[in-house]
């Protein structure tokens, strides 16, 4: 395992894949594209047609409990209209702010308006009063047009295996996807990779 090594070159030479990363060169018969929000960028680097991946920003925050008011009604993972999620635990409640539209893949940061809107919605729906968030963060959830997961060997590029478009469920699905993905014969059980219209 090599961490912190950006992939700068990726091509198939007819016999296998040649990869440049972190100033080193590697060869492999199979490349697994599990690059999350930049999976399409990795495919373009490899000369493989993209799947039309669309990242969307989602913000979240935690806040300290103040007197416990309103908390008996909260259940972990309870969902409300508009994507609101409240989770009680360890003295904080987490709230996922509503998603924004498509964005370019990048190291996303939470936006003040999203956090303020989330706090306002919680205060409107509960008896909680939130003076300030304890911690804020954001992430990108990546989707293809039909919203489904994409996995399997690319139908055109030999040895190029897709594991993408997990839509924010990567932690929950990685174990289930990882086991059959490491057994090549089982890969045929995956849904064929989609193609973007362009």
Q: 19 is in which domain, residue-wise?
A: 7-53+145-189
Long-range contacts of 16-25 (CB under 8 A, 24+ apart): 16/159, 17/46, 17/159, 17/160
pLDDT of residue 193: 45
Q: Are 151 and 177 in contact (CB under 8 A)?
A: yes
Averaged pLDDT, 65-80? 48
Q: Which residues contact 179 (CB under 8 A, 6 or more apart)?
A: none
Q: Are residues 112 and 137 in the same domain?
A: yes
The number of distinct structural domains making up the chain is 2
pLDDT of residue 74: 47
Averaged pLDDT, 140-145? 86
Tokens at residue 189, please?
């059980």
Chain segment 88-106, per-residue pLDDT in tens: 655 555 556 656 667 777 7
- DSSP3 helix / strand / coil % (the chain, rounded to 5): 25, 30, 45
Which residue did the predictor score with more confidence, 183 or 12? 12
Q: Which of 63-72, 91-100, 102-111, 183-192 has the lowest mean pLDDT?
A: 183-192
- Give a yes or no: residue 1 inside a domain: no
Radius of gyration of the chain (CA): 20
pLDDT of residue 110: 85
Handedness of CA 108, 111, 117, 123 (dihedral sign): positive
Q: Are residues 61 and 128 in the same domain?
A: yes
Instruction: Report the side by side order of strands in the sheet with 150-153.
Output: 31-33, 160-164, 150-153
- Give a yes or no: residue 125 inside a domain: yes
pLDDT value at 29 more than 70: yes
Q: Are residues 136 and 151 in the same domain?
A: no
Q: Are residues 43 and 62 in the same domain?
A: no
């Amino acid at each position: 395992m090599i961490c912190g090594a950006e992939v700068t070159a990726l091509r198939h030479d007819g016999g296998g894949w040649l990869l440049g990363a972190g100033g080193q060169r590697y060869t492999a018969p199979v490349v697994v594209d599990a690059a999350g929000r930049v999976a399409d960028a990795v495919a373009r680097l490899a000369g493989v047609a993209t799947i039309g991946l669309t990242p969307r920003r989602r913000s979240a925050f935690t806040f300290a409990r103040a007197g416990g008011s309103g908390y008996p009604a909260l259940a972990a993972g309870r969902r409300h209209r508009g994507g609101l999620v409240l989770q009680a635990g360890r003295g904080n409640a987490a709230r996922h702010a509503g998603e924004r539209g498509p964005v370019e893949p990048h190291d996303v940061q939470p936006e003040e308006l999203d956090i303020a809107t989330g706090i306002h919605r919680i205060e409107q729906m509960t008896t909680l009063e939130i003076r300030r968030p304890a911690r804020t963060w954001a992430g990108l959830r990546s989707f293809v047009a039909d919203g489904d997961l994409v996995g399997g060997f690319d139908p055109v590029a030999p040895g190029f295996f897709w594991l993408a478009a997990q839509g924010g469920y990567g932690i929950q699905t990685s174990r289930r996807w990882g086991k059959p993905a490491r057994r090549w014969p089982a890969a045929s059980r995956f849904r064929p990779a989609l193609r973007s219209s362009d």
